[in-house]
Structure 1
Amino acid sequence: MTVRTLLYAPAALLFLVFCWRMAWERRRFGNAVLLGLAALCGLAAWMYELVSSGSTSGRVVAASLLALGGLGILVLVCLLFLNGLRMVRREGRSPTNLLSLMGALCIVAVVALVVTAAVLRTPVMIGVGVAALGIACYISFLFLSFVVYAFLYGRLRIRRKAGFVVVLGSGLIGGSTVPPLLASRLVRAQEVHALLSKRGGAPVLITSGGQGPDEDVPESHAMADFLTERGFPADLIEREDRSTTTEENLRFSKAIMEKSDPDYRCVVVTNNYHAFRAALTARRLGVRGQVVGSTTAAYFWPNATIREFAAVLVAYKRTNLAMCLLFVLCGVLAWAAR
């Protein structure tokens, strides 16, 4: 067995495990982590091969990759900052609309902290710098894995027949009007329904959403009206009008489907930025079906993706807290060693 084979063996093994888990169950965050680890191991092996080759061209390529990574961080900060300003102008100054700006500021803060620690080299600053860099790298790895896998998941084909199409609600404007974000879900649901109908049968479309305190009617009723006004058969629509969260959307819709057909299969429709997290929730609740996404305005996507990622971090809070504490411990050890 050659040295090169040994270098790339971990990446190949992780990728094979990823493919096997994808075939078994698509709706796992562990799939995203496995894909990220496979890519990271492959990149590390390639960098080691370039540096250890001893050739000038290899070292130039390795240095160029590192420089490209640094440039990528700078570009990311600028894009997040500009997106944050656009979100504030278009959507207002609510905490959730400030996530892009907060992300840019956090990146700048970590870079400034690490540079300061490298310049001053005091025990305390080194310890803080090691801990901050470790946590930042860990969260960055998870975020990139999340974004890449969510992108892939959103483009997987619907591979089975299904008797139900479930559309998740997202709120109304003016008390009764379907906003563009929700309209895109309903249009996508009609497309999915047409695709499933071609495979045989007439799936039931479930509009899922209760009535909020500032709404005149339940979301599901407004969603159903939107569909029927565009020619969708009213007798193929079922309204789920009690839910107020994504989890309740899925749980209450599941009860409707199980009552009608204990062996049901479904396709859940939401926006593309929300599809993967909705899939994770669906798996946890035992909903048998795939989640697909509709298009979202480009300016809205970065902020919404950060929000979805934050929600996933909270969902796995014990594991993530343990990892962050481990990096804090590394910082303490670095401080003690000085």
Structure 2
Amino acid sequence: MLLYAPAALLFLVFCWRMVRERRRFGNAVLLGLAVLCALAAWMYRLVSSGSTAGLVIAATLLALGAVGILVLVGLLFLNGLQMVRKEGRSPSNLLSLMGALCVIGVVALGVTAAVLRTPVLIGVGTAALGLTCYLSFLFLSFVVYAFLYGRMRIRRKADYVVVLGSGLVGGSTVPPLLASRLERAREVHAQLGRRGAAPVLITSGGQGPDEDLPESHAMADYLVERGFPADLIEREDRSTTTEENLRFSKAIMEKTGADYRCVVVTNNYHAFRAALMARRAGVRGQVVGSTTAAYFWPNATIREFVAVLVAYKRTNIAMCLLFVLGGVLAWAAR
């Protein structure tokens, strides 16, 4: 059982940090490390047992991993084509397609290095494989924890519900993506209202260069037209980014006291990153997500993950340099 001690310790630390603060990317990493250590300990026991059943199970798991990579590449490729067909060829819509091509490239590089065994290819392959494993671990940790975070219960009371803007269509029309946030905000508001005093709903979004009015005004009009009380809506109409959404909304909420509580509403793929930004901005509250079209989710999740990597760029650059150094050492050893 000592083999599972590191996994158990990491899981306990994860639980402790969850109680203190849910909105940390370190929680996702700790949970991923706990699962990885438990899986490694289990595989070691299967292989070291020497039993035929253990070896068969270990081989089956490795085979399933290889098949999973092939399936993932196929799904990413198909999703990339669907995104191009439905959303256009902008760089942000090509992320799933580029992800599939990157996986194919790394696999091809690894196979070529194993066959030719030249020093340069071994060095490059070692660095690429290490970097791929690192990014894959972070991505899986991000996806799993974001899934868990999105299903955490809303706190019993809140003074505000904040809806983050996402742009208008035709200069004044609320698009389906933003409408889903507003409908989710109505649900959250009704849920909180049943537990006590009805919170104030803040629509957050400024006016873009191609918009006829601020997003917050269009969002408020959308809600009022569907029966939401106008006197419970407050407009934050200066922000142009998610960081500004949170910062300017925080300034409004702090007018009633620094001990306010809030629930921030965005789309489900964006909820965890918005929660990370909310913690950094000092916003007192959790983030919940609304549903998103299935075809849009993979590409959007990759975009959110890339944004998180950039937010922690110093750590990730240092790790990348370590893998490059490992590649150089592998080349020099040949």
Relative to the length of structure 1, the TM-score reads: 0.98
Tell me which residue corresponds to 1:151.
147
Between 1:253-262 and 1:33-42, the stretch displaced more is 253-262
Pairing 1:275-314 to 2, within 5 Å after superposition? 275-314=271-310
1:64 is matched with 60
Q: Does 1:223 align with 2:222?
A: no
Note the C-alpha offset of 1:198: 1.0
Partner Cα distance (1:260, 1:219) in 2: 24
Q: 1: CA distance between counterparts of 2:233 and 2:129?
A: 51
Measure, in 2, the Cα distance between the counterparts of 1:11 and 1:336: 35
Question: After superposition, where does 1:27-46 map in structure 2 within 5 Å?
Answer: 27-46=23-42
Does residue 258 of the first structure (1) align with residue 250 of the second (2)? no
- Aligned-residue offset at 1:7: 0.5
2:237 to 230, 238, 241: 241
Matched letter for residue 61 of structure 1: I
Distance 2:216 2:305 in 1: 27
CA RMSD of aligned residues (A): 0.5
- Name which of structure 1's ranges 254-263 and 14-23 shifts more when overlaid on structure 2: 254-263
TM-aligned CA deviation for residue 263 of structure 1: 1.5
Task: State the AA in 1 paired with 2:252.
Answer: I
Task: Report the equivalent of 2:16.
Answer: 20
Task: State the alpha-carbon separation in 2 of the partners of residues 219 and 48 from structure 1.
Answer: 55
Q: Any idea what SS the aligned residue of 1:206 has?
A: strand
- C-alpha displacement of 1:208: 0.1
2:67 equivalent to 1:80: no
Residue number in structure 2 paired with 1:326: 322
Structure 2 residue matching 1:283: 3-state secondary structure: helix
Deviations, residues 245-270 of structure 1 (Å, cap 9, x unaligned): 00000000000000123211000000
Q: Secondary structure at the match of 1:290?
A: strand
- Partners of 1:324 and 1:168 lie apart in 2 by 34
Instruction: Give the letter for the 1:283 counterpart.
Output: R
In the TM superposition, residue 90 of structure 1 has moved relative to its aligned partner by 0.4
**1:111: which partner in 2?**
107
1:270-294 C-alpha deviation (Å, 9 max, x unpaired):
0000000000000001000000000
Q: 2 CA distance for matches of 1:95 and 1:129?
A: 27
1:138 equivalent to 2:126? Answer no
Residue aligning to 1:210: 206
Query: Could you say what secondary structure the match of 2:161 adopts?
Result: strand
Partners of 1:285 and 1:271 lie apart in 2 by 19
1:192 maps to amino acid: V
Alignment partner of 1:123 is 2:119: yes
The residue number in structure 2 matching 1:172 is: 168
Distance in 1 separating the partners of 2:170 and 2:265: 23
In 2, Cα distance between the equivalents of 1:257 and 1:159? 17
Runs (4+) of structure 1 exceeding 3 A deviation are none
8 A Cα contact 2:206 2:215, kept in partner:
yes
Amino acid at match of 1:27: R
Verify the 8 A CA contact 2:10 2:31 in the aligned structure 1.
Answer: yes
Q: How many Å separate the matches in 2 of 1:48 and 1:210?
A: 56
Using the TM superposition, give the Cα deviation of residue 6 of structure 1 relative to its aligned residue in structure 2, in angstroms: 1.2
* 2:240 counterpart SS class: coil
Counterpart residue identity of residue 33, structure 2? L
The count of residues paired between Structure 1 and Structure 2 equals 334
Maintained 8 Å contact 2:156/2:195: no
Offset at residue 160 of structure 1 (A) = 3.4
Identity of aligned residues (%): 86
Q: Secondary structure at the match of 1:75?
A: helix
CA positional deviation for 1:199: 1.1
Mean CA deviation greater in 240-249 or 253-262: 253-262
CA distance in 2, matches of 1:290, 1:76: 31
Superposition deviation, residue 125 in structure 1: 0.7
Distance 1:288 1:281 in 2: 11
- How much does 1:155 deviate? 0.2
SS at match of 2:255: helix
User: Which stretches in structure 1 are left out of the alignment for 5+ residues?
Assistant: none
Q: Secondary structure of 2:287's partner?
A: strand
